[in-house]
């Protein structure tokens, strides 16, 4: 459950970064040229954290619950994020793919957290 909470937090940071950067760029267009290389670097760094944390969290949750829905959704989200960072579909699609992937991953982590809390509540009788 802690890895899912961490994964959800990282997804939130990624979303904040992806939404805040375009707003900042519209506010100060000259800053966009300075931020573009660091934007890709930030996505690579976030993905470097997201892949192992998400992969382990989704696998452990699948092992605990034996339902594959969140596992599949989480993996799809991680792949979408990786496609965005890799620029296979062009640099201009990086933000859209990253946001889509982060929302997908966040949703899967959220489902895992809810399942974990339901299981805990059932186990303790609360």
Q: Which residues of 54-79 are buried (b: 16+ CB within 10 A; e: fewer)?
A: bbebbebbbeebeeeebbebbbebbe
pLDDT digits (tens, 9 = 90+) for 59-77: 888 888 888 898 999 999 9
Alpha helices in the chain (DSSP H): 2-27, 29-65, 69-86, 94-124
- Mapping DSSP to helix (H, G, I), strand (E, B) and coil, where does residue 67 land? coil
Token reading at 116: 């974990």
Tell me the domain boundaries of the chain.
2-124
Among 81, 79, 64, 60, smallest CA distance to 11 is for 81
* pLDDT value at 93 more than 80: yes
Q: According to the model, what pLDDT value does residue 72 have? A: 93
Cβ atoms of 106 and 70 within 8 Å: the answer is no
pLDDT tens column, 6-50:
888 888 887 787 777 667 666 665 555 555 555 677 778 888 988
């Amino acid at each position: 459950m802690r890895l899912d909470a961490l994964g959800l937090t990282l997804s939130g940071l990624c979303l904040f970064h992806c939404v805040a950067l375009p707003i900042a760029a519209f506010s100060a267009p000259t800053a966009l040229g300075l931020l573009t290389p660091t934007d890709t670097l930030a996505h690579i760094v976030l993905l470097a954290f997201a892949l192992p944390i998400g992969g382990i969290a989704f696998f452990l949750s699948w092992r605990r619950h034996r339902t594959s829905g969140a596992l599949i959704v989480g993996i799809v989200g991680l792949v979408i994020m990786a496609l965005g960072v890799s620029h296979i579909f062009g640099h201009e699609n990086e933000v859209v793919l990253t946001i889509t992937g982060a929302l997908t991953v966040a949703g899967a982590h959220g489902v895992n957290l809810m399942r974990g809390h339901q299981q805990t509540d059932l186990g303790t009788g609360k």
